[in-house]
Amino acid sequence: MSDAVPILNALDLSIAYGKDDAVKNVTLPILEKKITAIIGPSGCGKSTFLRSLNRMNDFIDGVSHRGQILYRGSDLYAENVDPVEARLRIGMVFQKANPFPKSIYRNVAWGPGINKLPGDPNERVETALKQAALWDEVSDRLNDSALNLSGGQQQRLCIARALAMEPEIILMDEPCSALDPVSTARIEDLLFELKKKFTIVIVTHNMQQAARVSDYTAFLENGVLIEYGETDQVFTRPKETRTEEYVTGRFG
Amino acid sequence: MTALSRKSIRWGESILERVFFLCAFLSVITTAVVIFILIRETLIFFESVSVTEFLFGTRWTPLLEPKSYGILPLVAGTALIVVGVALLALPIGVACAVFLSEYASARARSIIKPTLEILAGIPTVVYGFFALTFVTPLIRNFIPDTQVFNAASAAIVVGIMVLPMVASLCDDALRAVPQSLRHGAYSLGATSFEVTTRVVVPAGLSGIFAAFVLAVSRAIGETMAVTLAAGATPNLTLNPLESIQTMTAYIVQVSLGDTPAGSLTYQTLFAVATVLFATTLILNIFGTWIMRRFREVYE
Ligand SMILES: Nc1ncnc2c1ncn2[C@@H]1O[C@H](COP(=O)(O)OP(=O)(O)OP(=O)(O)O)[C@@H](O)[C@H]1O
Ligand SMILES: [Mg+2]
């Protein structure tokens, strides 16, 4: 499809909770400095797949992987890989906002702080909050508890928190599901901006969003990758009828 | 029809409501009566002994001539035990809890947690006996000057005694911290040590603090084990290797003796009890204040 080498590459990947496979034999490249959207009906394994990309599934009991995920060509699940190191490079925004019960400032400064990232922490916090389209709303109350923010603001704070780490790849699990259209539009603008520096994988239920922001789209159903391709092609000339049904159904 | 049956349910509810109210009312009344009696009797005591002598006097000898009513030795004895217990039980208790909630496998937990609860049920006199026959000889082995009855031995066994409670309560507090917070921290490249010490423990701090306050209250209130291990010598000292007497131990000593009701010695009971009550009250208020100030509320 493209001759670029994928920064992440899932090869025949299956992920099981106990005995049941939630993701089945998925082969999916994630291309560098592109936005890859993952779409599909609820429960089809999008979050499960996404979590496997930065080893967050390690914390869920009973999860097992078969197949491979390559990060720049080397096995992400190899014995000698430090998952902490991997998560430094591959950040994540969760489906449900999960700010720390700390101040707004300390939420954003926390990750860079414990990892002793270089530079001025204040600047880092400001930049990240601006990128996440939250700065204007919180600049005068950085020391307030993050839990006093609205749900949408909390989600943008979590985005800022991930951005402050300046990872190479950012995994976003429905980052806009709790946001109003204005904030959503700002996050989408942000994604275009971020694409210059970062690789982004975004799970979304919003077809327009996937069509608007992503370069590539993967459609999952029941844990199976039905179709993967350039977003234009997937939305306008899908190869599979199931993709077409899903995509047009949602376009309504 | 429906109206009728609803009516009858309301009747039951209103009766229950009254019963509950009565229970609440009774407990408030009981407390009020206890406080009232304490204060009344303490005031009688202060007719014979000045408040300054009582609060700042350095000798406590109400049972021996020349009689002297300075409560400081009992306060010092109590403080010695409390500080010892806190130093022992709090760090170890929190460490146990961290292990239980963050590192132990489900299987290990299912064994350790009930064991802790059983430990918490051992009668305190057993701990006192354990102090006398095991801990004290052990201490004297290393520091031969140690008195047979000493505060250190008492503090150690009371520390062991409250440890299960502290560990169990702190474990509950840590486990109540939502998993999503841990995941958020891990996703920012934190190690499990960083997640534990910088996200989970701070988020569980209010529960940890509650456990701490309870542990200290128990240390103040513990009588049997302390008397057995630390003796009954009112002694204004901060040396844990000497025999001391705590406030509660004194109350027991006099209550069990043949002190006639109404005598001045008898009145000392109420004065000491009032100080005890005030101490626990202040501790609780202080605890609540600290908790409000430092806790991280989640959700
Ligand atoms: N912790 C878990 N333990 C067991 N099964 C799980 C767990 N998490 C998810 N599953 C199952 O795995 C399947 C995929 O779940 P997943 O959360 O990945 O779906 P999703 O595509 O993200 O759905 P949604 O769009 O609703 O977020 C579902 O059938 C779900 O029930
Ligand atoms: Mg999901």
**Does the C-beta of A60 come closer than 6 Å to ligand 1?**
yes
The predicted-structure confidence for B169-218, as pLDDT tens digits, reads as follows 999 999 999 999 999 999 999 999 999 999 999 999 888 988 888 899 88
Residue B166 falls within a domain, yes or no?
yes
Query: 3-state DSSP call for residue B234?
Result: coil
The predicted-structure confidence for A171-218, as pLDDT tens digits, reads as follows 999 988 878 888 888 888 888 888 888 999 999 998 989 999 999 999
> In this structure, are B242 and B140 located in the same domain?
yes
Q: Which domain holds residue B169?
A: 72-297
By C-alpha distance, which of A136, A138, A132, A134 is closest to A187? Answer: A132
pLDDT at position B286: 84
| Number of neighbouring beta carbons within 10 Å of residue B14 | 10
CA distance B199 to chain A (A): 7
Residue B193 falls within a domain, yes or no?
yes
Identify the residue whose C-alpha is closest to ligand 1 atom 18.
Answer: A45
CB contact under 8 A, A101 and B297: yes
CB contact under 8 A, B298 and A147: yes
A51 CA: nearest ligand 1 atom: 18
> In this structure, are B111 and B202 located in the same domain?
yes
Q: Which residues, at least 6 apart from A213, have a Cβ–Cβ distance to it below 8 Å?
A: A35, A37, A188, A191, A192, A202
- Residue A213 · residue A191 · CB < 8 Å: yes
Q: Which residue type occupies A185?
A: A
> In this structure, are B125 and B193 located in the same domain?
yes
Nearest Cβ partner for A54 among B180, B187, B296: B187
> In this structure, are B192 and B121 located in the same domain?
yes
Q: What H or E segment, with its residue span, contains residue A35?
A: strand A35-39
The predicted-structure confidence for B11-50, as pLDDT tens digits, reads as follows 778 889 999 999 999 999 999 999 999 999 999 999 999 9
Domain count for chain B, please give it: 2
Calculate the alpha carbon distances from B77 to B231, B252, B269 in Å: 11, 15, 16
Grouped pLDDT means (10 residues each) for chain A, 252 residues: 77 94 96 95 95 94 93 92 95 93 95 94 94 92 92 91 95 88 85 89 92 95 95 93 85 44
> In this structure, are B35 and B86 located in the same domain?
no
Residue B64 falls within a domain, yes or no?
no
Peptide bond into B66 cis (omega under 30): yes
Block residue for tokens 């939305």 = A235
By C-alpha distance, which of B92, B216, B77, B93 is closest to B154? Answer: B77
Q: What is the mean pLDDT of residues B249-271?
A: 89
A15: β partners: A23, A65
Q: What is the mean pLDDT of residues B240-260?
A: 90
The length of chain A, given as a count of residues:
252
Residue B62 falls within a domain, yes or no?
no
Q: Tell me the C-alpha distance between B178 and B298, whole Å.
A: 8
> In this structure, are B105 and B225 located in the same domain?
yes
* Mutational pocket test of ligand 1: of A13, A38, A44, A51, the residue with most ligand atoms within 8 Å of the beta carbon: A44
- Interval between CA A77 and ligand 1 midpoint (Å): 21
> In this structure, are B155 and B119 located in the same domain?
yes
> In this structure, are B115 and B218 located in the same domain?
yes
Specify the higher pLDDT residue, B197 or B298: B197
pLDDT at position A251: 46
Residue B216 falls within a domain, yes or no?
yes
Q: What is the mean pLDDT of residues B288-299?
A: 70
Residue B240 falls within a domain, yes or no?
yes
- Interval between CA B17 and ligand 1 midpoint (Å): 45
Complex ipTM over 0.90: yes
- Residue A220 · residue A49 · CB < 8 Å: yes
pTM score, two decimals? 0.84
Residue B67 falls within a domain, yes or no?
no
> In this structure, are B18 and B80 located in the same domain?
no
pLDDT band at residue B293 under the 50/70/90 scheme: confident
Calculate the alpha carbon distances from B164 to B180, B197, B222 in Å: 28, 21, 15
**Does the C-beta of A57 come closer than 6 Å to ligand 1?**
no
> In this structure, are B93 and B141 located in the same domain?
yes
Q: Which residues of B touch A147 (CB under 8 A)?
A: 297-299
Q: Which of A114, A115, A170 to mutate to test the interface with B (most CBs of B within 10 A)?
A: A114
> In this structure, are B9 and B143 located in the same domain?
no
- Interval between CA A234 and ligand 1 midpoint (Å): 24
pLDDT at position A183: 80
Block residue for tokens 């704070």 = A157
| Number of neighbouring beta carbons within 10 Å of residue B199 | 24
| Ramachandran area for residue B119 (φ above 0: left; ψ -120 to 50: alpha; else beta) | alpha
pLDDT at position B72: 95
The predicted-structure confidence for B63-121, as pLDDT tens digits, reads as follows 888 889 999 999 999 999 999 999 999 999 999 999 999 999 889 999 998 988 888 88
By C-alpha distance, which of B240, B242, B220, B222 is closest to B232? Answer: B242
Residue B60 falls within a domain, yes or no?
no
* CATH number of the domain that residue B132 is part of: 1.10.3720.10
Chain mean pLDDT for chain B: 90
Q: Tokens for B26? A: 């009774």
> In this structure, are B101 and B192 located in the same domain?
yes
Query: 3-state DSSP call for residue B13?
Result: helix
Q: Which residues, at least 6 apart from B14, have a Cβ–Cβ distance to it below 8 Å?
A: none
A68: β partners: A11
- Residue B289 · residue B206 · CB < 8 Å: no
pLDDT at position B3: 56
